[in-house]
């Protein structure tokens, strides 16, 4: 492609001294767990905070459409061209560092985890330490940054229950640290979301002291639950809808007669009705059609408006 066809901002971006890899016209299918989506004009594998602190002010200055992602779970990406920048955290953002206490008698079982660290990896590393409480992360196919931003949870536990503080970067490239009590969390929500201009870089958690065998047993129970109750071997985004007060989205979808319904290459899972799976060749239109069908049918039969748990790829704030 000739330079004339490049966006002006892209020519300027190529002059920024980054360690991170910049890719053009990158398919987004392998960057989300639904395995659907179009092409990004520019995707950057951001490997450290220094590069992120250069990129965010650049995005603000040039008013570029942008989005940040980790493993791309809980995310719907349309089959269209994304005209701006996708920031894909990797490298140093995958860290996992236990916090050493000066006085061993006051050990707080704390660990700092990078925003790009996989939830599964976090849960597995806690086993050897005998740290319990967050075993539920073994069944969530996302990253720590996403878990904090969306207050991910399962089996009666939520990420915010164990969070001590979060480190985040503003659109001017400045790092901040916020204690848990100064942040707002509720069911599948926090005010530390990328589209609010706060980019999580790492988080500190305090876990429950146990022993490795007990933690491992609970971890395996959570893992087994997922294998038996969820379509773990098919591409999906996880739960599509939030549970309404006093009920479960899956129950409402199933009793509306929608379990197993197919639209194109997508299906409402016959294993768990709150999962929409890619049968192999689903388009984003197929998935969106099923989402709309679920909303309309559940409202018609139960007078309940299901709220989506899934984020849609759309431009975040400029700053």
Residue 316 is assigned to a structural domain of this protein = no
Q: What is the pLDDT of residues 99-124, one digit of tens each?
A: 977 655 545 799 999 999 999 999 99
Cβ-based neighbours of 37, under 8 Å, separated by 6 or more? 27, 28, 29, 31, 77, 78, 79, 284, 313
Looking at residue 108, which CATH number applies to its domain?
3.30.465.10
**Residues 107, 217 share a domain:** yes
**Residues 246, 276 share a domain:** yes
Beta-sheet pairing, 75-76 with 39-46 = unpaired
Looking at residue 29, which CATH number applies to its domain?
3.30.43.10
Q: Which of 92, 158, 167, 309 is catalytic?
A: 309
Residue 319 is assigned to a structural domain of this protein = no
**Residues 115, 50 share a domain:** no
Is pTM beyond 0.95? Reply is: no
Q: Is 21 helix (H, G, I), strand (E, B) or coil?
A: strand
Mean pLDDT of the 175-191 span: 93
- Boundary of a domain, candidates 43, 60, 92: 92
Is 239 among the catalytic positions? Answer: yes
Element holding 9 (H helix, E strand): helix 8-13
- Residues 18 and 50: their CA atoms lie apart, in Å, by 9
Is 309 among the catalytic positions? Answer: yes
Q: What is the pLDDT of residues 2-38, one digit of tens each?
A: 445 789 999 999 999 999 999 999 999 999 999 999 9
- Boundary of a domain, candidates 92, 112, 147: 92
Averaged confidence pLDDT in the chain? 92
**Residues 84, 43 share a domain:** yes
Q: Which of 239, 256, 269, 316 is catalytic?
A: 239
Q: What is the pLDDT of residues 62-107, one digit of tens each?
A: 999 999 988 998 899 999 999 999 999 999 999 999 997 765 554 5
Q: Which of 35, 188, 198, 263 is catalytic?
A: 188
Is 213 among the catalytic positions? Answer: no
Residue 271 domain boundaries:
230-311
Element holding 166 (H helix, E strand): strand 163-169
């Amino acid at each position: 492609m000739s330079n004339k066809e490049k966006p002006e901002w892209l020519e300027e971006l190529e002059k920024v001294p980054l360690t991170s890899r910049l890719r053009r016209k990158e398919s987004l299918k392998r960057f989300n767990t639904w395995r659907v989506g179009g092409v990004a004009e520019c995707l950057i594998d951001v490997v450290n905070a220094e590069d992120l602190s250069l990129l965010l002010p650049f995005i603000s200055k040039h008013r570029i459409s942008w989005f940040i992602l980790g493993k791309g779970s809980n995310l719907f990406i349309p089959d269209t061209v994304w005209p701006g920048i996708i920031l894909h955290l990797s490298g140093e953002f995958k860290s996992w560092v236990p916090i050493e206490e000066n006085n061993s008698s006051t050990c707080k079982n704390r660990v700092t985890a990078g925003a790009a660290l996989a939830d599964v990896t976090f849960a597995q590393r806690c086993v050897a330490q005998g740290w319990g409480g967050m075993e539920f992360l073994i069944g969530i196919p996302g990253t720590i940054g996403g878990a904090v931003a969306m207050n991910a949870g399962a089996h009666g536990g939520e990420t915010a229950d164990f969070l001590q503080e979060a480190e985040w970067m503003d659109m001017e490239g400045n790092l901040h640290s916020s204690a848990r009590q100064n942040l707002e969390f509720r069911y599948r929500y926090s005010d530390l979301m990328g589209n609010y201009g706060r980019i999580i870089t790492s988080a500190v958690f305090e876990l429950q002291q146990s022993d490795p065998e007990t933690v491992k047993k609970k971890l395996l129970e959570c893992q087994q639950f997922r294998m038996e109750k969820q379509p773990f071997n098919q591409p999906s985004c996880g739960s599509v809808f939030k549970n309404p007060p006093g009920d479960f989205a899956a129950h409402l979808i199933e009793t509306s007669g929608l379990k197993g319904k197919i639209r194109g290459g997508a299906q409402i899972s016959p294993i768990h009705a709150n999962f929409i799976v890619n049968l192999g060749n689903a388009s984003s239109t197929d998935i969106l059609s099923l989402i709309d069908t679920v909303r309309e049918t559940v409202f018609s039969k139960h007078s309940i408006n299901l709220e989506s748990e899934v984020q849609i790829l759309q431009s975040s704030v400029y700053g």
